[in-house]
Chains A and B, each alone.
Chain A
Amino acid sequence: MKIALALREAHDAETELASELLAVGERHKAEHDVYHLSRTLHRWCDEHVRRLAEQGTRHGLDLDAEADGEPGRGLLARARERGSELVGRRPEPGVLLLRDLRDLHLVAARASLAWTVLGQGAQAVRDVELLEVVTACHPRTIRIVKWTVQKLKDAAPQVLAS
């Protein structure tokens, strides 16, 4: 059975999403909603990664149970946040925001697809426990996908018209 492949793919994708959420938040700290919400959503991904790691153990994988350290705790992260705060209060951070939200959307979409594949696999091999994890976690990843679209739609008009 190749279900472990799908598990690893979902774990990789959620780990990347967790890390990208933090990075985008740090780069746009002066966009206060992006900053705060990216950290909230990061905690969701962190939980997804942990639960995928638990499932991995059942399937003979040794997956990292933590997506990342505490958000924004590292020295480098703090320096980056401070820098973005200063940059962010000068004009024209908007174009960078649109680019980062687009990239974040693609990462989130990849994670969502990984959950879809994993869910199909879990049903095919009748792994009830794994399917429960997919059912609990995938909707949140979809909500992250929708948020990136919403934020892009909200931000684009002013960036492009001014």
Chain B
Amino acid sequence: MPDRIADPWGRRTPFGRGDSWPVRVDRYLQRGVAPADVDAWVPTASILHSNGDALDIAVKDGRMVGVRGRADSRVNHGRLGPKDLFGWQANHSPDRLTRPLVRSDGRLAETDWDTAMDAIVARSKALLDEQGPSAFGFYTSGQLFLEEYYTLAVIGKAGIGTAHMDGNTRLCTATAAEALKQTFASDGQPGSYSDVDHCDVLFLVGHNVAETQVTLWARMLDRLEGPDPPRLIVVDPRPTVPAQRADLHLAVRDGTNLPLLNAILHELIAGDRVDHAFLEAHTVGYDDLVAAVGACTPEWAAAICGVPADGIREAARILGAHDRILSTCLQGVYQSHQATAAAVQVNNVNLLRGALGRPGAGILQMNGQPTAQNTRECGADGDLPGFRNWANDAHVQELAELWNVEPSTIPHHGPPTHAMQIFRYAETGSIRLLWISATNPAVSLPELHRIRSILAREELFVVVQDLFLTETAALADVVLPAATWGEKEGTFTNADRTVHHSDKAVDPPGEARSDLDILLDYARRMDFRDRDGAPLIPWTDAESAFAAWQACSAGRPCDYTGLSYDKLRAGGETQWPCNERFPDGRERLYTDGDFYAEADYCQSYGRDLVTGAAADADEYRAQNPRGVAIIVPAEHVAPAEAPSGEFPLRLNTGRTVYHFHTRTKTGRAPQLVAAAPDVWVEVSPADADGHGLGEGDVVAVITPRGRIHGRARITGIRTGVVFVPFHYGYWDAGPERDGRDRAANELTITEWDAASKQPLFKSAACRLEKVRDAGGETAPAPTTTASRPLRPMPATAGGADADVDEDPGA
């Protein structure tokens, strides 16, 4: 059986353009359990990445014993990646939180639910009296369920009435949403994964799909190995698996996506490889783009990006020769300098080519986390629920009527407060209660010494609900033990708008409760009321919360009104919008130019891509009277922290296929731990020589904000760029670590994109210092992925414990 640690993508099942992607059912059961032993297979989908792979949890004697991909899923056709095959074991981990904790005399001590919740409620009521809603901040996740986000959104926006709500989706997917709002005036993924089956060009910009969406890459690989393969263009400073496979790999300097894309647009325009009929019918702004990129020649961009001008011309030639183009972006764009500006130019490439809303012609502005889409839709982040426009009073009025509250209750005097600003308000003392759910900012936010000092502030009351005593929970005043995936019911939506129902397979450990139950309990204890004195939140469980959300989504782009739990159960996954017009969901948005961009309907009037200043309704109407797609150009500006004498290298932080986020779950699955056990530092051979480094030598990475160390892995990464995975915090760091010398975010800069407010994790300058020789060890980095070593060494493998059954006939 295949070792899916050694081969994360599994066996090939090639197919040709327009054919159906063959099914291959991946199954992993814990040692000693045979398929016939399984009591029940409980349907759900992946919670460890954004792809939304549908799977069943195997249950035996009330315990999870394995997983199996769902053959009937439009997303994965039965396949699973290593995080899903092995990550479920974290549910069993002996260090799960099972009782609430409350801090007393400086220490967290176990208590009962009443005591913990009463402590939160007492502080909440005191703060409402003393200061009002502005004292409250809610920082949530991309890993809860839709019903939980919507409940949280109503608690925050109508119960408390605070503008300070965001999710860690700010770190992963805010730029995707903002880029879509810029181009289409509303969030909403235009494309579909099935565009892979039909495309002639795959254009991956800063998207290491092989590691972030394993089965989507398997689908691409199967196209690449079949008849009529698409051309593959990859923009990435690292030698990722897709880059190794590409027809054209443009290894740009970090943070130079925008000049590269401007030069590609320049070439498309100069060669008149432009679908003028499409532009005429479906867009405004083309002339602005022509003027903006007039001087952006390949030679100009080549000097900034550090790639050959001919490579840029070749990219434009390939893109200009086809109109079934699938373009995708992820963190290489979203977490880099000029994030939104660059993501928008990718949209512009497709608009210029008329490549939108047809099979194979689409855009996937990807998500980072499994349920990030719902954080965005439900308004648990810096948006209003249902992709409503905070600057449109009629939209606020709709919500006020739905919730039966005064419109003035719902903060809409400005854009909802983004995560980095929430932490700034906590730092300056005006946010005094910060409620963090299912995320770990003490490892995942930039400049960690600052974040730790904020969370530790005496004056700040921190509530954390999580599965484990994370680095963040350890700093909290109250810790609430949460039930997770497989232990609760709910729905969630992936990056191509596919809604999955996730059933409860097993009971949560100890007294752990679902996040929904925790939030409903808080609402009950706070006694939030509507305008007529009735409970603000009348729903009591997941299904009734879903019904409430459906009513909120009615008539909006993310319309769920045609769905129900019954319809979604047992493989009934459906893409939104699902309503009377699209009773089975809609595969692609914007076919024939039916946009959501009309001024009275749209989610956003647009923003200045450099300053972030919002346009108003009048400006928007004047610019886009027909409600079509908007071609928004952007000029190149210099980064805040360019490499210089003291810090001559660029720091790039990112991820590996075997781990998710801060490893709260994947760090507790033995196969995944063994595959990538500790932090490493990727350097090029030239930079290694310059610092006297060999493979496995311990090296310090230093920026103006901190210093960490790890073993060096010498790879084909671009010279001048240093890569450090961001997954590794301190809960399992070992005694030789001092609590501030392992996490990549000790080093990162506190800076964010002006339009999307996404922190720029790939935007710092650094230097290297050798600490000591390898002592016979190699870097603890996988050999199977972008961290592939140049020097021969034993390959990463999982052995018998990673054997997975792959059934191509299923």
**Chain A interfacial positions (CB closer than 8 Å to B):** 30-33, 36-37, 39-41, 43, 88-94, 143-144, 146-147, 149-150, 153-154, 157-159, 161-162
A145→B223 CA distance, assembly (Å): 50
Q: Does B31 contact A (CB under 8 A)?
A: no
CB-CB nearest in chain A for B750: A32
Q: Is the CB of B414 within 8 A of A153?
A: yes
Chain B residues whose C-beta falls within 8 Å of the C-beta of A159 in the assembled complex: 430
Q: Is the CB of B428 within 8 A of A150?
A: no
A96→B135 CA distance, assembly (Å): 20
Q: Is the CB of A40 within 8 A of B427?
A: no
Beyond A39-B640, A150-B612, 9 additional contacts (C-beta under 8 Å) are A30-B427, A37-B612, A89-B428, A94-B428, A143-B608, A143-B610, A147-B613, A157-B413, A158-B430
Known A-B contacts A32-B420, A40-B640; A92 and B751 likewise in contact (beta carbons under 8 Å): no
Q: Does B250 contact A (CB under 8 A)?
A: no
Q: Is the CB of A91 within 8 A of B608?
A: no
A94→B415 CA distance, assembly (Å): 18
Q: Is the CB of A32 within 8 A of B752?
A: yes
Among B421, B425, B754, the residue within 8 A (CB) of A37 is B754
Cβ distance A33 to chain B, nearest Cβ, rounded Å: 7
Chain B residues whose C-beta falls within 8 Å of the C-beta of A94 in the assembled complex: 428, 430
Q: Is the CB of B751 within 8 A of A32?
A: yes
Supply 29 A–B pairs (Cβ within 8 Å), ascending by A. Answer: A30-B424, A30-B427, A32-B420, A32-B750, A33-B752, A37-B754, A39-B640, A40-B610, A40-B640, A88-B428, A89-B427, A90-B428, A91-B430, A93-B428, A94-B430, A143-B610, A146-B611, A146-B613, A147-B612, A147-B613, A150-B611, A154-B421, A157-B411, A157-B413, A158-B430, A161-B134, A162-B135, A162-B425, A162-B430
A31→B611 CA distance, assembly (Å): 15
A162→B429 CA distance, assembly (Å): 9
A37→B752 CA distance, assembly (Å): 10
Chain A residues whose C-beta falls within 8 Å of the C-beta of B429 in the assembled complex: 91-92, 162
CB-CB nearest in chain B for A153: B414
Known A-B contacts A36-B751, A146-B613; A154 and B415 likewise in contact (beta carbons under 8 Å): yes
Chain B residues whose C-beta falls within 8 Å of the C-beta of A158 in the assembled complex: 134, 417, 425, 430
Cβ distance A148 to chain B, nearest Cβ, rounded Å: 9
**Contact pattern, B 120-132, Cβ under 8 Å of A = 1, otherwise 0:** 0000000000011
Q: Is the CB of B134 within 8 A of A157?
A: yes
For the complex of A and B, 9 pairs with smallest distance between CB atoms: A162-B430, A147-B611, A91-B429, A150-B613, A146-B613, A161-B134, A36-B640, A32-B750, A147-B613
* Interface size counted on chain B using CB atoms at 8 A: 31
Cβ distance B400 to chain A, nearest Cβ, rounded Å: 19
CB-CB nearest in chain B for A145: B613
Q: Does B163 contact A (CB under 8 A)?
A: yes
Known A-B contacts A157-B134, A161-B132; A143 and B613 likewise in contact (beta carbons under 8 Å): yes
Q: Chain B binding site: helix, strand, loop or mixed by DSSP? A: loop
Chain A residues whose C-beta falls within 8 Å of the C-beta of B754 in the assembled complex: 33, 37
Q: Chain A binding site: helix, strand, loop or mixed by DSSP? A: helix
Q: Which of B629-646 contact A (CB under 8 A)?
A: 637-638, 640
A153→B411 CA distance, assembly (Å): 13
A147→B638 CA distance, assembly (Å): 18
Q: Is the CB of B427 within 8 A of A146?
A: no
Chain A residues whose C-beta falls within 8 Å of the C-beta of B405 in the assembled complex: none
Among A41, A89, A92, chain B packs the most CB atoms within 10 A around the CB of A89
A28→B424 CA distance, assembly (Å): 12
A48→B617 CA distance, assembly (Å): 30
Chain B residues whose C-beta falls within 8 Å of the C-beta of A146 in the assembled complex: 608, 611, 613
**Number of A-B pairs, beta carbon distance below 8 Å:** 80
Q: Is the CB of B134 within 8 A of A41?
A: no
Chain B residues whose C-beta falls within 8 Å of the C-beta of A33 in the assembled complex: 420, 612, 751-752, 754
Q: Does B526 contact A (CB under 8 A)?
A: no
Cβ distance B752 to chain A, nearest Cβ, rounded Å: 7
A33→B134 CA distance, assembly (Å): 21
Cβ distance B212 to chain A, nearest Cβ, rounded Å: 27
Among B131, B411, B417, B611, the residue within 8 A (CB) of A143 is B611
**Contact pattern, B 596-609, Cβ under 8 Å of A = 1, otherwise 0:** 00000000000010
**Contact pattern, B 728-755, Cβ under 8 Å of A = 1, otherwise 0:** 0000000000000000000000111010
Among A43, A90, A154, the residue within 8 A (CB) of B414 is A154
A157→B416 CA distance, assembly (Å): 11
Q: Does B614 contact A (CB under 8 A)?
A: yes
Chain A residues whose C-beta falls within 8 Å of the C-beta of B640 in the assembled complex: 36, 39-40
A121→B542 CA distance, assembly (Å): 67
CB-CB nearest in chain A for B427: A89
CB-CB nearest in chain B for A89: B427
A144→B163 CA distance, assembly (Å): 25
**Contact pattern, B 72-113, Cβ under 8 Å of A = 1, otherwise 0:** 000000000000000000000000000000000000000000
Among B413, B414, B424, the residue within 8 A (CB) of A31 is B424
Cβ distance B456 to chain A, nearest Cβ, rounded Å: 13
Chain B residues whose C-beta falls within 8 Å of the C-beta of A40 in the assembled complex: 610, 637-638, 640
Chain B residues whose C-beta falls within 8 Å of the C-beta of A144 in the assembled complex: 611
A73→B414 CA distance, assembly (Å): 35
Q: Which of B268-304 contact A (CB under 8 A)?
A: none
Chain B residues whose C-beta falls within 8 Å of the C-beta of A30 in the assembled complex: 424, 427
Chain B residues whose C-beta falls within 8 Å of the C-beta of A88 in the assembled complex: 428
Chain A residues whose C-beta falls within 8 Å of the C-beta of B427 in the assembled complex: 30, 89
Among B134, B428, B608, the residue within 8 A (CB) of A92 is B428
CB-CB nearest in chain A for B763: A36
Q: Is the CB of B132 within 8 A of A157?
A: no
Q: Is the CB of A162 within 8 A of B131?
A: yes
A159→B283 CA distance, assembly (Å): 40
Chain A residues whose C-beta falls within 8 Å of the C-beta of B612 in the assembled complex: 33, 37, 147, 150
A40→B751 CA distance, assembly (Å): 13
Cβ distance B131 to chain A, nearest Cβ, rounded Å: 6
Cβ distance A150 to chain B, nearest Cβ, rounded Å: 4
Q: Is the CB of B638 within 8 A of A43?
A: yes
CB-CB nearest in chain B for A162: B430
CB-CB nearest in chain A for B164: A158
A150→B131 CA distance, assembly (Å): 25
Among A30, A92, A144, A154, chain B packs the most CB atoms within 10 A around the CB of A154
Chain A residues whose C-beta falls within 8 Å of the C-beta of B425 in the assembled complex: 158, 162
A94→B421 CA distance, assembly (Å): 13
A32→B420 CA distance, assembly (Å): 9
Chain B residues whose C-beta falls within 8 Å of the C-beta of A162 in the assembled complex: 131, 134-135, 425, 429-430
CB-CB nearest in chain A for B614: A150
A32→B757 CA distance, assembly (Å): 11
**Contact pattern, B 408-450, Cβ under 8 Å of A = 1, otherwise 0:** 0001011101001100110111100000000000000000000
CB-CB nearest in chain A for B424: A31
A43→B636 CA distance, assembly (Å): 12
Q: Is the CB of B613 within 8 A of A157?
A: no
A149→B420 CA distance, assembly (Å): 20
A64→B257 CA distance, assembly (Å): 35
CB-CB nearest in chain B for A157: B413
Chain A residues whose C-beta falls within 8 Å of the C-beta of B417 in the assembled complex: 158
CB-CB nearest in chain A for B635: A140
Cβ distance A76 to chain B, nearest Cβ, rounded Å: 20
CB-CB nearest in chain B for A159: B430
Chain A residues whose C-beta falls within 8 Å of the C-beta of B424 in the assembled complex: 30-32
Among A31, A36, A91, A149, the residue within 8 A (CB) of B613 is A149
CB-CB nearest in chain B for A92: B428
Q: Is the CB of A41 within 8 A of B611?
A: yes
Cβ distance B615 to chain A, nearest Cβ, rounded Å: 9
Chain A residues whose C-beta falls within 8 Å of the C-beta of B610 in the assembled complex: 37, 40, 143
A32→B442 CA distance, assembly (Å): 19
CB-CB nearest in chain A for B135: A162
Cβ distance A51 to chain B, nearest Cβ, rounded Å: 15
CB-CB nearest in chain A for B757: A33
Q: Is the CB of A91 within 8 A of B428?
A: yes
Cβ distance A81 to chain B, nearest Cβ, rounded Å: 12
A158→B637 CA distance, assembly (Å): 30
